[in-house]
Amino acid sequence: MKLIKFLCISIFAWSVFPSIASSQENIPIKEQKAQLKALLIQLDEVIECNDRYENQRLAKIDSLRSRMNAASKDSSEYYCDSLFTLFYGFQSDSALFYSKKGLEMSQLHNNQLMCAKSTLNRAKIYQMTGNYHACLTLLNKIDKNSLPIDFLVNMLSIYNGVYDALTSTTIDAELQSRYHNRAISYKDSILALDPDNIFVKCDRLLIDGDINSAVSLLQSFCDKLELTEPITGPAAYALSDVYRRQNITLQEKIYLAKSSISDLVNGNKEYMSLTRLALLLYEEADFKRAYSYTNKAIEDATYCRAKLRIEEIAPMVSIINMAYFRRMWMNYLYLGIGIVVV
């Protein structure tokens, strides 16, 4: 009887005071919305003064070039490698130039290790720009047995990226299955050499259908990072993609915003987070931000000469711009009508 009485009182309380239960349940949602609001304001400010971050990266490049010109020619391939790193994701053609220059200097000095590193750098650029055939041709020429473990992991990661991309772009089911299996084999090979590789570990969990473990893994990793750290960009983007699979849009937007801020403050111009965030905001009729974000994304992709990103963003730009200018026109129309009525 006591149990029945307790249940009756509980049901009565929930029916009479639903707002109490609802408000308790919505406290974390409110906090998340407040967090997203703050992140979007911060992202707007970063975009507004983005020239500063771009100039900081250019200053690092100029400084490194000056040191390279003053240093001994015997070390030029190492400077080329460092310049490649600074240009990668910033200016694709310059990154490609320094990968080729690095190979030339390495061959001149008979530096076999840096020959392999420069070739991997070039393959990485080909992968990023969608030149998959040329990328695989380069990788297949490398003597894998002579590579140190970190170089080998780098090579396997490029293979993995190529076959992941081919899996998502092919329309042939048989080819898609073949590419997918190749990608899985490269993921397993990477984890055998680098078991703490969080991105590949997460991919493997998702393939195995363990989405909760993937979220837990990435969440604990991302929440330890500062927004200014370069790794935050890809890590937060990876977590946003897991939330997208779960249709948890609020968390997806939070981590897309974090990823975007990290990318921009580090001068990275080859990204997808800002574009995807713009699309979500467009669907919520936040046309002003969607307009700002897509135009920033297409501007950066053009600067970087990231052809694949330009092709992905271009169809969105005209749609979002049209919605933004239509909203602006309607606002001016209502303002004009209000003035006339007054």
Q: What is the pLDDT of residues 187-209, one digit of tens each?
A: 999 999 999 999 999 999 999 99
- Are 163 and 182 in contact by the 8 Å Cβ rule? The answer is yes
Cα dihedral 37, 42, 44, 50 in deg (nearest 10): -160
pLDDT of 175 strictly over 80: yes
The model carries a pTM of: 0.84
pLDDT in tens, 250-291: 999 999 999 999 999 999 999 999 999 999 999 998 989 999
Average pLDDT of the residues of the chain: 86
pLDDT of residue 333: 47
Per-residue pLDDT at 7 exceeds 70: no
Give pLDDT, residue 12: 37
Is the predicted pLDDT of residue 111 greater than 80, yes or no? yes
- Going by C-alpha positions, the residue among 222, 223, 218 that lies closest to residue 204 is 218
**342/337 Cα distance (integer angstroms):** 9
Q: Is 90 exceeded by the pLDDT of residue 114?
A: yes
Q: Write out pLDDT tens, residues 35-53.
A: 999 999 999 999 999 999 9
pLDDT mean over 144-154? 93
Read off the pLDDT of each residue in 133-146 and give the average, rounded to a whole number.
Answer: 92
Contact 290, 278 (CB under 8 A): yes
pLDDT of 15 higher than 70 = no
254 three-state secondary structure: helix
The confidence score (pLDDT) of residue 324 equals 61
Q: How confident is the model at residue 296 (pLDDT cuts 50, 70, 90)?
A: very high
Spatial distance between the Cα atoms of 171 and 213, rounded to a whole number of angstroms: 30
pLDDT (0 to 100) of residue 167: 93
> What crossing angle do the helices spanning 273-283 and 249-265 adopt, rounded to 10°?
140
What pLDDT is stored for residue 315 in this prediction? 74
Kindly tell me if the per-residue pLDDT of 245 is higher than 70: yes
| pLDDT at residue 136 in the model | 96
Q: How confident is the model at residue 94 (pLDDT cuts 50, 70, 90)?
A: very high
Instruction: Return d(Cα 103, Cα 54) in angstroms, integer.
Output: 27
In this structure, are residues 174 and 158 in contact, taking their beta carbons and an 8 Å threshold?
no
Q: What type of residue is 299?
A: E
Of 7-16, 61-70, 129-138, 144-153, the poorest mean pLDDT is in 7-16
Count helices and strands in the chain by DSSP H and E runs:
16, 0
